[in-house]
Structure 1
Amino acid sequence: MAHQLHLEKEKYRQWVKAGLGLGYLKEGLVPFCNDIAVQQHKDILQNIRSTKSLPSTVTCGICRVETLKPDHKPVGNAKNRVCPLGQVKCSCCCKGKIACPNNICGAIYDFIVQHHASTPPAPNWKNTDAKQWVTDPWSICKCFINAPGYEQKQSAGETDCTGLLHLMINNQYFHSHIGCNVTGTNNLFTKVRHYRNAIFHSSSMELEESEADTYLDDMIAVLQDGKELLNRSDAQIAVKKLQDLKNKDFIITTESFEEILRQIKEEMAKVLKSTESAATKEEYDDLKKKLIDLEAKMSDEKKGKLENEKELAELKKTSSALKKKLLELEAKMSRENDEKLENAELKKKLGVLETLVSEQKKEIAKIKSETSSGQSQNYEQTKLGE
């Protein structure tokens, strides 16, 4: 049987176990992240209401991130305004923004920017809906997930472990509840966040046992962080499951396969989402033609066909802007091609795993028709544990 051949390959077993480990890691992090999100939300609102002498009943549900005017103001002159909080392209520097009529959403905006751990701060405004900030803790947390595909997630439970780790790394409020240093690029939390790509983007769907054990050990270490997670029962239940995965006799069941399938489908959805706004070839070709035409005009000017230097200066300025745009599009198209290849690889893996699940179910159904249900269950565990 094809699935049995796969299961006999130890490296394949290790890959499946590592994938399951990500699911257990999420299980251990969800309650913690939900609790801190609620606590953070409560503290934000209390601080704003106290600072601004607002009534406890004040609320809002009409502001949009795209049009919201932050509470903080830009510094510098009219031609060179800069965000004092360090955010690039901050709304504070844009004209036409609208202040929150309830005097609360602009302050929440400021809190998000001030508590984003990256330098410069880079909240992901596309993941959130400002209309929900006053009533929904998770709508604020999603601003700290610097990856696409989370805008529809309504809670920690709907968010994968990668998104939860993004939140814990990027949200400074969470840092006070974590003992481990989560700054820099080599910290434990960031390493574990990268494991999802290493696992699900593996073309061979194989891992060495030592490599899989390292992944699982680091996941365990995250859940045993000494500040709070170590003392949470839900996190330690997940630790036990991760430790069981390292057992050589661990049984890979049909349910295990289906969990891996679910995670790969979710990863595919994110890849597709990230290419929705990718540059098109038509857009690139149009810009290329405009650049060629401009350079031709500039060449003509050198031959005396343009009447004044002012027009040439404008042409040079436009040409420079188009060249910059072309470079951006070339980079964007390159990323798009990489993402298409990545998605094709994920689809290939998905097809293989779906076949394995189908064959496994057929084999179990056949055995069940010939034996008692108790014997069949024993057969499944025996075969899958090989």
Structure 2
Amino acid sequence: MAHQLHLEKEKYRQWVKAGLGLGYLKEGLVPFCNDIAVQQHNDILQNIRSTKSLPSTVTCGSCRVETLKPDHKPLGNAKNKVCPLGQVKCSCCCKGKIACPNNICGAIYDYIVQHHASTPPAPDWKNSDALNWSTDPWSISKCFINAPGYKDKTSAVHTDCTGLLHVVTNNIYFHNHIGGIATGPNNLFSKVRQYRNEIFHSSSMELEESEANTYLDDMIAVLQDNKELVHQPAAQQAVLKLQDLKKKDFIITTVDFDEILGQIKEEMKKVLKSIEDAPTNEEYEELKKQSEEHETQIFKLNEEMTKIKTVTSSGQSQAEYEQTKIGCRTQLIEHYRSDVLKVSAI
């Protein structure tokens, strides 16, 4: 049976509960996002094949977004080209691009730009691989995640709730499956996405109970969206878990701590990858700060788990407990040195 954690600081306990809520939110969103991504992919291919009179089985696995020539043509003259779809630095305005040999990937490129909800449209091409567009639904969905670190995420289940919320808010196709407004800075989906940033970028790792409950209530509201999510079994099972978190007698276990540790480690991996690609020294320093915040969070969570395991294990002395703490700290310092400091400032 999992050890029960009786945390001394109530604000810290509320932060842990909010972190757990994000995990439940992801559980509730995964089937919905996966289903809509598959529907969208089928619609894209059917439309392209029908419009271009292509065989029903045609696919492509040879195009790369870096070299792909879109189907749409630029406006203006040779010296002053403008993308008619409004995308900044669009491939349509670049020389040397190569048309899809199967006449399908250029049309998919156009579709992604036209269905990106931001103004101007800004797909994140670095998160995806055009090699997979015609065969893998999630490779298209990832173009709507406007944050780095998702290129290796092969499905909705492997994507964190931030990525899933990006897909819902940035992909116009998904808006047809949401009852409320999914655009604008104050929409519920964007608000909850911001909560995740506040939770996992918190150096104090503390929340007032009222603040934590607001976070949890809004997560519940997302999963109870009245168009489709409210009818999704996984979403409503997640709602029950979120409601349990709000109970005064909710007990946090080491299993719960493992869940939050996993989320923070995943976030740290994305930050470390982003550091490698940071285009400016300013962005490098900001990402480095975030990495240090995650290191502190990981150490504190490990320390709390060590405490409870020490209390419940038989025969471990205080000296052994202190040695375990030192080992944990040393491991984190070495991790930081090898994975963060090895990246030179720009």
Q: Return the TM-score normalized by structure 2.
A: 0.88
Structure 2 distance, partners of 1:346, 1:6, is 23
Moved more, 103-112 or 4-13: 4-13
Is 1:145 equivalent to 2:145 in the alignment?
yes
Aligned counterpart, 1:307: none
Aligned counterpart, 1:336: 284
Aligned counterpart, 1:18: 18
Deviations 1:242-287 (A, max 9, x none): 00000010010000111111111111111111111235xxxxxxxx
Contact 2:254 2:305 in 1 (8 A): yes
SS for the counterpart of 1:17 is: helix
Contact 2:5 2:251 in 1 (8 A): no
Is 1:71 equivalent to 2:71 in the alignment?
yes
Aligned residues: 314
SS for the counterpart of 1:263 is: helix
Structure 1 distance, partners of 2:314, 2:246, is 31
In structure 2, give the amino acid aligned to 1:353: L
Question: Which has the larger Rg?
Answer: 1
Contact 1:73 1:84 in 2 (8 A): yes
Please report the RMSD computed on the Cα atoms of aligned residues, expressed in angstroms.
1.6
SS for the counterpart of 1:69 is: coil
SS for the counterpart of 1:7 is: coil
Structure 2 distance, partners of 1:133, 1:183, is 25
Match of 2:309 among 341, 361, 365: 361
CA drift of 1:5 comes to 9.7
SS for the counterpart of 1:76 is: strand
Q: Return the TM-score normalized by structure 1.
A: 0.79
In structure 1, give the amino acid aligned to 2:243: Q
Aligned counterpart, 2:191: 191
Going from structure 1 to structure 2, the CA distance change for 1:225 and 1:27 (only over 3 Å counts) comes to same
Deviations 1:281-333 (A, max 9, x none): xxxxxxxxxxxxxxxxxxxxxxxxxxxxxxxxxxxxxxxxxxxxxxxxxxx21
Structure 2 distance, partners of 1:360, 1:8, is 12
Residue segments in structure 1 that go unaligned for 5+ positions in a row = 280-331, 368-386
| Bigger helix fraction | 1
Identity of aligned residues (%): 75
1:53-64 alignment runs, 5 A limit:
53-64=53-64
SS for the counterpart of 1:193 is: helix
Aligned counterpart, 2:296: 348
CA drift of 1:197 comes to 1.1
Structure 1 distance, partners of 2:254, 2:5, is 15
Aligned counterpart, 1:120: 120
Contact 1:6 1:12 in 2 (8 A): no
Structure 1 distance, partners of 2:111, 2:267, is 30
Contact 2:23 2:161 in 1 (8 A): yes
CA drift of 1:365 comes to 2.9
Deviations 1:84-129 (A, max 9, x none): 0000000000111000000000000000000000000000000001
Is 1:234 equivalent to 2:234 in the alignment?
yes
Aligned counterpart, 2:98: 98
CA drift of 1:364 comes to 2.5
In structure 1, give the amino acid aligned to 2:108: I
Contact 1:144 1:167 in 2 (8 A): yes
In structure 2, give the amino acid aligned to 1:61: G
Aligned counterpart, 1:211: 211
SS for the counterpart of 2:252 is: coil
